[in-house]
Amino acid sequence: MFVIFGASGKVGHATAVALRNAGQPVRAVVRRARQGEALAKIGCEMATADLTDPASVASAIKGAAAVQMLCPVPVGDIDPASTMERMIDVAAHALRADPPPAVLALSDYGAELDEGTGLTRLFHLLEARLKPLATHLTLLRSAEHMQNWAAMLPVMLATGRLPSLHQPLDRAFATVATQDVGALAAELLLEAPSTKTPRIVSVEGPRRVSLIDVARAFSPAVGRDIVAEAVPRTAWAPMLQRAGLSPNHVQLITELYDAVNVGQIDVEKGVSEQRFGKTELPDACASMLAAHVKSR
């Protein structure tokens, strides 16, 4: 049984679908039962769990041949770092108490760094907690998800602008489609363990892009010219707070983009295997717009 945490999310859903298409049994773990309707229709066994609740996590991993673990950054939390640290501790404890033969943890570029990276530091903590597990461990570090820009579609449609914390606008960075991350995760879960030491795999898209490239890719999708706009650093916090983020969350994002913009967040050279997704940015932009229109 393959146990997939965060199965209602974009990456987890893609992993679950890929495993079911390969004829594998999947237990899809969601926080609320209604989130699992589509997964139940493709034959997944459903389980509900709260990553801050040890009993529900322990129940979800019972009998697993492999576990895909995701500890998401909690949106809308007053202190997201503390909550995510709690999730990590609960997950690590459950996996130590009842270790499956294999664990794949969804992590981030830059997770090898232990300070000065904001949100990414939490993925460093996740990796550190899981590395002592008595099981075959794969750490799948992904670049920034293309689908994150879907949140900016209302602004692009209304104003023709794409505001961003990425600076300078012409600096190329790694990005990847969530479906490619999920598909690779399924592939890695199906592989026989090849080493007793943690396996580190990094994944990004077929080519690196700048914010100017992102704006150009969205332009034909939305039917108007989109212009990339660098948000002045002094305006980051007010903008993020207007979006409803707590001061603690704002600080984590600020630290992250300070690190991103000086090139600190990237593939760990000489340590991780490098994989590349197939989804091109314009295709991802078109899919994001279609999903946005459908949801309205």
The percent of residues above 70 in pLDDT, for the chain, comes to 100
| DSSP secondary structure code for residue 203 in this structure | E
pLDDT at residue 122 tops 80 = yes
Q: Which residue has the tokens 């990796």?
A: 127
DSSP H or E stretch at residue 200: strand 199-204
Closest CA to 50 of 78, 26, 31, 71: 31
What tokens were used for 174?
A: 């790694």
Amino acid, res. 148: N
Phi, then psi, of 129 in degrees rounded to 5:
-70, -30
pLDDT at 296 over 80: no
Average pLDDT, whole number, for the chain?
Answer: 95
pLDDT digits (tens, 9 = 90+) for 32-89: 888 888 999 999 999 999 999 999 999 999 999 999 999 999 888 999 999 999 999 9
Which residue has tokens 């229109």?
293
Average pLDDT over residues 99-125: 96
What is the percent of the chain where pLDDT is above 90?
Answer: 90
pLDDT of 276 higher than 80: yes
DSSP string for 265-281: SS--TTTSEEEE----H
**d(C-alpha 109, C-alpha 128), whole Å:** 15
Tokens of 110: 């830059």
Domains of the chain, start order: 2-295 (3.40.50.720)
Q: Can you tell me the distance from the alpha carbon of 178 to that of 262, in angstroms, rounded to the nearest whole number? A: 25
Report DSSP state, residue 34: G
